[in-house]
Amino acid sequence: MSGRDRVYFVLCLLLIIGVGIFQSWNVALTMINFALISAILSLGLNIQWGFGGLFNVGIMGFVALGGLAVVVVSAPPVEEAWRAGGWRVLSALFVAVLAIGGSLFVWKRWRPKKYGAVSLVVFLTMAFVLYRFLFDPAVLAIEKVNPALSGFLGGFNLPVLLAWPVGGLLAAAAAMMIGHIALGLRSDYLAIATLAIAEVLVAILKHEEWLTRGVKNVTGLPRPVPYEVDLQQSIWFQEWASQLGIDGIEASSLTVKLCYMVLLIIVLALIFTLCQRALNSPWGRMMRAIRDNERAASVMGKDVKRRHLQIFVLGSAVFGIAGAMMTTLDGQFIPSSYQPLRFTFLIWIMVIVGGSGNNWGAVLGGLLIWFLWIQVEPIGLATIDFLTKPLHPTSPLRVHLIDSAAHMRYVMMGLFLLLVLRFRPQGLIPER
Amino acid sequence: MLDAAIVLANFVVIPALSYGSLLALGALGVTLVYAVLRFANFAHGDTMSVATMMAIYCTWWLQSLGIDFIRPLPTALLAIPFAALGTVGLLLVIDRLVYRHYRQAKAPPITLVIVSVGVMLILHGLSRMIIGVDEQRFFDGGRFIVSAGEFKEWSGLKEGLAIKSTQVIAIVSAVTLMAYLFYFLQRTRTGKAMRAFADNEELALLSGIRPQKIVTSCWILVAVLAAVSGTVYGLDKVYKPFTYFQLLLPIFAAAVVGGMGSPVGAILGGYLIAFSEIGLTYAFKRVAGHLLPPSWVPDGLLQLISTDYKFAVSFTILVAVLLLRPTGLFRGQAS
């Protein structure tokens, strides 16, 4: 890290301290926590794009899978729903897996023969009918169990921290399957394919109510840190807060956020160290060689397709971990909140602005762009408010402009991306 | 029997034809940029959105002037030329400020894709800022050409057939525009030059084709396509910036399925995607009810996939095509 790079990070720190002083420390800490998760996400994308040159615009899907992991791991199970149709749903899914495996088998075995395609269609139709026969009643039964409060299967009631690695594994498994399908396409086709696959993943999470409650959301997920109320009621905490001279309620909320922050920093540091070591290892050099010239690397005996799959899986696992962390931080799983602008394209801006191919750059981009994403709105609002002061407070132009300030962030983000691409295409901290 | 055909026409064929026409126009826009400028334009959905926004403001302006001589057709049709002009200006300015630099620097296509993401964000933000995130309806004029009740009376059948005027407008305008586009590409000098440029850039440059002219005419075509498809979609359904952003995905699917860079492919891809989206998520129970004896009609809805997965259908087709035939149905330009 050169001197100038340090200046960037110090600037970030100053910006956040500024928020703490001028807005509130609560806001600043919330922002730091989400900025840390953004930094992890952009490290993941840096693995895929910076190291490997893979154009993945399906980040949202893997983040959502990480969120699902939190539900499955830590939500309390709904016994009644399991009795109503849990096993039937699982057997339906088992049939689906068998059907896909079986159809691959049929296709391989019989394609050369005369009725290959016909037998495949017959087989798939039968499997589909059986699947719907098992699946539909079971789902209806599960969703009927106390629909206002549960109506889904629930999870395994395990500690929520376990969901973080599980989220990574889930995303990695999905990436393995998707990678087999999509990698090997040329870069812009890969982009379209991953964009589409992420949409499908989120659509599944949004509509399979037996699994995720769909648009009804899963709320009240367990936390890895104490609850504010418990802190406020414990004697040692009250004494400690009064010694520091902070109001008990605010102190408890700050403490909870600090606890989260420590957890997030530990994970970020871990992933960052691994990334840094990977980048500087022979493996990292090989990856960059493949990125810069696939054909030459392939001539040198590198298995390009396999390496691409590897890097796609690794990066996606990081997205899954970050997704699980984000859902834990929110304490709820909201499938409809996953939108490509926020969870895919914003991460791309972070990596491009920060500097693709450089882990420090990715982290910086994550912190800085998250700060701007949050702060553009109040800054824009203040500017418009100042500029339209001469107008009457109810003048339609002024009202309209003030309403529109909330959407300024998209314009600003696009502008940042275009300006950096044009005038500093290597990013703020370039690849060494 | 006839009843079954009417139900099918009413709920599957006509909606799919009008939706498919719009997807085809959108896919043509994407495919033209891909053929001439050689990148997948992520900003196309939001270009349509901004174009529609211009059309909406024009419509409101015309309505306030009390211009309604084209009744029963919607006033918005009069606004389309203005919107198209505005969009042409917008795209040419964007090309000058943003894309031209990368073209001259001979940047790899992927850089242009990222740049188009930046343009997408700006256009999306602008449409949200200017007109707001809410739904806008700007349809006026006669709603139906044939209403279900009239049709029943006229034919004496049990099922009614309703044809919305906007559906007919969508189909007619798409066919007209496609016909013009093919005339342009096949018969005019600029169109031929454009095809030559798309086919082999260096050879085209050697034979004295001016690249800037090709690029400009490409953006003009794309702007007209975006203005017409966006406005007509907004008339038929509803205008909302986020919906237009989401339209990008089926449009891409249509373009890829047909073969990126191939105009015929884009049109067929559009209809294919529309028919499979609507056909697979339609509940065929009513059709079966007319075809089968009552005791044979099954209890279920006879719906292959729930409507929730409408979007997923096009993506599944997209992925399947990418797997089995990456160049699309009509050999487009891949790799």
- Per residue in A151-196, pLDDT tens? 888 889 999 999 999 999 999 999 999 898 788 777 788 888 898 8
Tokens of A426: 């290597």
Give the pLDDT confidence score for residue A184 in this predicted structure: 77
The span from the CA of B170 to the CA of B183, in Å, is: 20
A415 contacts B110? CB cut-off 8 A: no
Mean pLDDT along residues B188-209: 91
**In which band, very low, low, confident or very high, does the pLDDT at A111 lie, cut at 50, 70 and 90?**
low
- Chain A positions touching B98 (Cβ under 8 A) are 418, 422
Whether residues A403 and B132 touch (CB distance < 8 A) is answered with: yes
Closest CA to A413 of B120, B41, B121: B121
Give the H or E element holding residue B163: strand B163-164
Shortest distance, CA A352 to any CA of chain B (angstroms): 9
Residue range B59-77, pLDDT digits in tens: 999 999 888 787 788 888 9
Average pLDDT over residues A365-384: 90
Alpha-carbon distance of B14 to B146, in angstroms, equals 12
Average of per-residue pLDDT values in chain A: 90
Q: Which of B51, B18, B72 is nearest to B231 (CA)?
A: B51
Q: Judge whether residue B329 has pLDDT over 80.
A: no
Lowest mean pLDDT among A341-345, B145-149, B195-199: B145-149
Q: Is the pLDDT of residue B252 over 80?
A: yes
Q: What average pLDDT does the segment A296-316 reach?
A: 94
**Binary contact (A411, B126; C-beta < 8 A):** yes
The answer to whether B118 contacts A196, with C-beta atoms less than 8 Å apart, is no
Chain-chain contact of B118 with A182 (C-beta, under 8 angstroms): no
Predicted confidence at residue A113, as pLDDT, reads 64
- Tens of pLDDT, residues B144-167: 888 877 888 887 777 778 888 899
Q: What is the pLDDT of residues B92-143, one digit of tens each?
A: 999 999 999 999 999 998 999 999 999 999 999 999 999 888 888 888 877 7
Backbone angles phi, psi at B136, to 5 degrees: -120, 130
Mean pLDDT of A16-23: 90
A209: closest chain B residue by CA? B308
Q: Do A410 and B315 touch (CB under 8 A)?
A: no
Look at residue B335 and tell me whether its pLDDT is greater than 50: no
Give φ, ψ of B282 to 5 degrees: -85, 140
Lookup result for tokens 């997807």: B23
Degrees, nearest 5: CA angle B189-B194-B199: 125
Q: Which of A48, A132, A421 to mutate to test the interface with B (most CBs of B within 10 A)?
A: A421
Q: Determine whether A149 is exposed, middle or buried from the number of CB atoms within 10 Å of its CB (0-12, 13-18, 19+).
A: exposed
The string of pLDDT tens digits covering residues A75-97 is 988 888 888 888 888 899 999 99
B226 near B44, Cβ under 8 Å? yes
Using alpha carbons, list the distances in angstroms from residue B262 to B131, B215, B258, B330.
Answer: 34, 17, 7, 7
Reported ipTM: the value is 0.90
Higher pLDDT, residue A379 or A261? A261
Other Cβ atoms within 10 Å of B17 Cβ, number: 19
Q: Specify the pLDDT at position B334.
A: 42
Give me the pLDDT at residue A114, please: 66
Alpha carbons A174 and A68: distance in angstroms, whole number: 13
Task: Identify the CATH class of A3-77+154-423.
Answer: mainly alpha
- Are the beta carbons of A196 and B130 separated by less than 8 Å? no
β-partners of residue B164 are: B144
Interface test with B, best of A189, A204, A293, A346 (most B CBs within 10 A): A189
| Percent with pLDDT over 70 in chain A | 98
Higher pLDDT, B291 or A91: A91
Res B332 pLDDT > 60: no
CA B47 to each of CA A280, B54, B219, B247: distance values in angstroms, whole numbers, following the listed order: 43, 11, 11, 11
Nearest to B124 among A136, A410, A425 (CB): A410
pLDDT, residue B333, reads 53
What is the pLDDT at residue A187? 79
Instruction: Look at residue A327 and tell me whether its pLDDT is greater than 90.
Output: yes
Chain B residues close to A409, C-beta within 8 Å: 125
Average pLDDT on B224-251 reads: 92
User: Considering chain B, what is the average pLDDT of its residues?
Assistant: 88
Q: Provide the pLDDT confidence category of residue B201 given band limits of 50, 70 and 90.
A: confident
